[in-house]
Structure 1
Amino acid sequence: MAKSESLTTSIVLSMDNGSSHIKGIYDDLSHTFIFPNVVSQPTGERILLIEQGDPLDFLDVQITSPAIEGDKYRHVYVGNLAIGDEGVVHEIVGDKAAQKKAQRPETMITLLTGAAYAVACKHEEAIRSGAKRIKAAVQLGTGLPISEISKFRAEFAHRIASGIHSVTFVTTPVFKGVTVELEFALPIDICIDDVSGVYDMEATLKTPLSSKGFGIADVGGVDMDIAFFRPGLELDQRHSTGAKIHLNDALEHIRSEVNAQGEELIASTAELTIMLVNKEYEIYAEGKVVFDMTNLVNRHMRLLAEKVLKYARGAWKHVATRANFGLSAAARSFCSRGSRS
């Protein structure tokens, strides 16, 4: 295959742009990926010592998109490569957490990078044979928090579906020098973040959800969305609700308290998140444990858990008493216990 040869392809892609991680699945259930929701603007050029490794760990990209104004985010590191970078690092914490997901430029950057990565993975064999440009028609499924759907759905959809978005992998192993041109279609518009998962559970696991009224809480870094469904998997748009819980702020407080020990033991909230997911509570320096954050994590997470439980029980009680949800005896019992707690 000549190196100048380009490919034309199509892909079906679903992406959850979460506060801590980007999760994606393309074409079928066997093709999934996940990377931290961190973006950095690098200073200088990256020195590539070896051209090996997992491309997902080295997402070094140049982006040209009608959805991203100016040159500020033209060249960025994304995901694991951005964590601990010496350039300008953007995490979804603090002031960033208060911004609307639909309007943050980082949302588009990670969405475009994830889509380009999925396309490149799909055609890795052709890339290894010399393909350098791929034009992809992308059938995309993605979502926004409940609090943003009514006001920002049209704006977000317009940014995604207007024009051609170009992503070039700069030093990324395997995909180095490859440009992916993305043209998106949104066959089901913009969903509520946690709704797609409900339909997927019903379709793939054959769970007995369709005959029941139920609620599902999606705990994110900033918001907790609580979506309610009537029998028949009908989304109750009137009673579905959201609340601010600020999980990311709790993580930032933990990081600050750890670093108050005298040195920067944890460089970023993304690094802390990875440690917590892996249940790595002991922090080492020079081969010795210098801090055990178990009690610190338990204290902050307990307060957050109490807040989540309070919101979830309150929302469930409200919808169960005001809407004809056809609740099962077990659901009515749970609601009753929650109202007495």
Structure 2
Amino acid sequence: MPDVLFAACAFLQGWTSTAWVVANAKLVPRHGGAVFTTAISHIFAWLILMFAASIDNWRIGLRPSALLQKARGVPWKLAWIMGLGWTSTLFLVSAAHSLGAALAQVLVLGGELSTAVLADAHQDKSPVPKEHGWLQVLLSPALALLGVTVSLAQELISVQFTQAAGFHFFLVALGAFFCGACSRFRQQSCLVLNSVGNTHLREHIGPLNASAWSAFMASLGNVVICVTVEVFGFFHFQEDTRPTTLMLWAVVGFAGMWVTLVVTFVPPRIGFARTFCLIVAGKVTGGLFVDALGLMSPGRPVTLLRALGALLVLLAALQRIGSQKQQHGHVKSENVEVEVEVAEATAFGRRSSDTD
């Protein structure tokens, strides 16, 4: 398959992520709350990832006993609970229902990019290169926050708020930003509370096994939340088996499967940098498209400020990737980068076979 098709898959993954958000937001009133739809979505993701991990383990000849032995070697034990960060996506579903798909995506991406500097510093424990300085390092979060501010300004201009409605708006917006701050997209992984934890798991049990475990922990966390709100009467689950509801769940399941396929197979072909930026581009343009068509109520036209806010977030993603490549000495040749990534994946498969 030509690289352009892999790039198209990455861009489409951004659109499928938006479709996941929209479908979940549509399901919220049908099932009684975002906590229920998010929990079911994460269970879907866990089943898909577990299937993919099982196939990969079978392909490389990694038996359950050998996988368990590898798991015991994880030095940072807290890494096993980091999948609970997935539970924060319920804020994203709630935000999309109230703020629209575009603003919700901008807020989440803004939170993600704004906290990336701190998370990477904690993970890499490397000082800022003198030749770049803090100004270049902080440019990405600054652009992201500016994009968030511009997008919020457009919403404030478009809508007349009462005091109660304004407080609810900022609370939901803060929740969406918090969702992004607690989740970061990393190569061959899904949303996690802290990429440090997922990195530790990946190094010992592989990317798909680590992602499957994270999804399992997210499912457990969401089930606990669902039981809690049901018992205390905050929300009540409503059964809905209408054909349109089943179609929405089919969209959620397909989107989850597509995310898994893209983040597993696309980065080794076109590089993580291109994959990440194309996904961000897909998310912001997909959100604008959804709002323009009025798929989320009420419809929100694509104005200059909305487009500018989305563009600033995309520029923040591009700048961050460029800064990371310069700071960590990534090779500039995309062909060499792909060969290195494939070699690392092959080495992991060989180590698994040797251990087995």
Assess same fold via TM > 0.5: no
TM-score by length of 1: 0.29
> Which protein, 1 or 2, shows the higher relative CO under an 8 Å CA cutoff with sep ≥ 6?
2
Q: Which has the higher strand share?
A: 1
Larger radius of gyration: 1
Q: Which has the higher helix share?
A: 2
